[in-house]
Amino acid sequence: MSIDDAKRLAGIAACDEVQSGMKVGLGTGSTVHHTIVELARRYHDEGLDIVGVPTSLATHALATELGLPLVELDDVEGLDLVIDGADEVDASFQLIKGGGAALLREKLVAQASAAMVVVADDRKMVDTLGAFPLPIEITRFGHGTTLRAIMDLLGCKAAVRMDGDAPLVTDNGNFIVDAHTGPRLTDPVATEAALLSLAGVVQVGLFIGMCDVVHLAGPSGAERLVCWSGRLT
């Protein structure tokens, strides 16, 4: 089985976490794309009664094209579930996210959700976070000063993510810094707190204590992994 086929299976399997009447956060990424397509199919063909809150403009456009009903995060009092992708997942179900530059909206939606389901391929499973460069959303004002402060704090190389010849601008009008820490983020809670203490840092792509279930795509198909301390069984 190709990894693309496996990702499709994982994305579709994650839809089984959704029940009629739910308010669902819709994540961003290549694997969760399959989830959104399948949710739209079930909405139209099977009468699955849901409303979605997208985590990015790209997801908003996809869900709108597919005819899924959407609401703004501020228009609901919490979400039942969010389904999203990840760039890394460790054995404690801690995540690095932000490869798609949507980490601020993704974290807002995740924090507003009663549970979080992640869809990913097995290449994203790691022993220690950090091989994937850690995304950090920062303000455009003073971004050079903030970049230097991040490098001093983490003791690693970091760079503003580019979009061609210019810095990439997020859906929120900010920049993204990618910090090349290497796989040594053994205390992501402390790392996140230290980064958030920097005035120019808007949000950090560490998702700690949020993920409850991972639908993992591998050569043999999709596997459901449940966090022992999670909110889903």
The amino acid that residue 192 corresponds to is E
Residue 212 has pLDDT above 80, yes or no: yes
3-125+208-219 CATH, one of 3.40.50.1360, 3.30.10.20, 3.30.70.660, 3.40.50.300: 3.40.50.1360
Q: What is the pTM (predicted TM-score) of this model?
A: 0.95
In this predicted structure, what is the pLDDT of residue 160?
Answer: 98
Residue tagged 């849901």 (tokens) = 50
Provide CATH 3.40.50.1360 ranges for the chain.
3-125+208-219
- Report the b/e string of 55-81 with b at 16+ CB within 10 A: bbebbbebbeebebeeeebeeeeebbb
Mean pLDDT of 138-146: 98
134-202 maps to which CATH number? 3.30.70.260
Hunting for tokens 């739910």 — which residue is that? 22
27-31 average pLDDT score: 91
* pLDDT range class, residue 124, cuts 50, 70, 90: very high
Q: What is the pLDDT of residue 218?
A: 86
Indicate the average pLDDT of the chain: 96
Buried b (16+ CB within 10 A) or exposed e, 99-136: bbbbbbbbbbbbebbebbbbbbbbebbbeebbbbbbbb
Q: Cite the residue boundaries of each domain of the chain with CATH code 3.30.70.260.
A: 134-202
**Whole-number pLDDT of residue 36:** 97
Catalytic (active-site) positions? 106
**Strand-by-strand arrangement of the 88-89 sheet:** 88-89, 95-96, 206-207
